[in-house]
Amino acid sequence: MAMVMVAPPAAASMSRSSLSAHYLAIVDAASGAEVMIQDAPGFVDVDLGAVFIRQLASTSPAITAVKIEGSPVGERIADCIEALGALKLPVFGGNGGLHAMDALDAGASAMIPGCELVAGHVRLFEAYASGDREGAAQLYAKLLPLFAFQMQNLNFYIACNKEILWRRKLIGSTHMRAPIKLGSRSKAALIHYEGLALAGVEEDSACLGASAPAVG
- Does residue 121 fall inside a structural domain? no
Instruction: Count Cα atoms within 13 angstroms, Cβ side, for 97.
Output: 30
- Does residue 212 fall inside a structural domain? no
Eight-state DSSP code of residue 61: T
- Does residue 5 fall inside a structural domain? yes
- Does residue 127 fall inside a structural domain? no
Listed residues 113, 144, 176: the one ending a domain: 113
Radius of gyration of the chain (CA): 18
As for how many domains the chain has, the answer is 2
- Does residue 124 fall inside a structural domain? no
Query: Looking at the structure, do residues 173 and 84 belong to the same domain, yes or no?
Result: no
Question: Which pTM was predicted?
Answer: 0.89
| pLDDT, tens only, 159-170 | 999 999 999 999
Domain that residue 154 falls in: 132-207
Query: Looking at the structure, do residues 10 and 60 belong to the same domain, yes or no?
Result: yes
- Does residue 18 fall inside a structural domain? yes
Listed residues 113, 142, 170: the one ending a domain: 113
User: Per-residue pLDDT for the chain (216 aa), expressed as one digit of tens each?
Assistant: 689 999 998 876 788 999 999 999 999 998 889 999 999 998 888 899 999 999 999 999 999 999 999 899 999 999 999 999 999 999 999 999 999 999 999 999 999 999 999 999 999 999 999 999 999 999 999 999 999 999 999 999 999 999 999 999 999 999 999 889 899 999 999 999 999 999 999 886 665 444 444 444
The CA-atom distances, in angstroms, between 85 and each of 5, 44, 82 are 21, 26, 5
Query: Looking at the structure, do residues 84 and 13 belong to the same domain, yes or no?
Result: yes
What is the predicted pLDDT for the residue at 205? 66
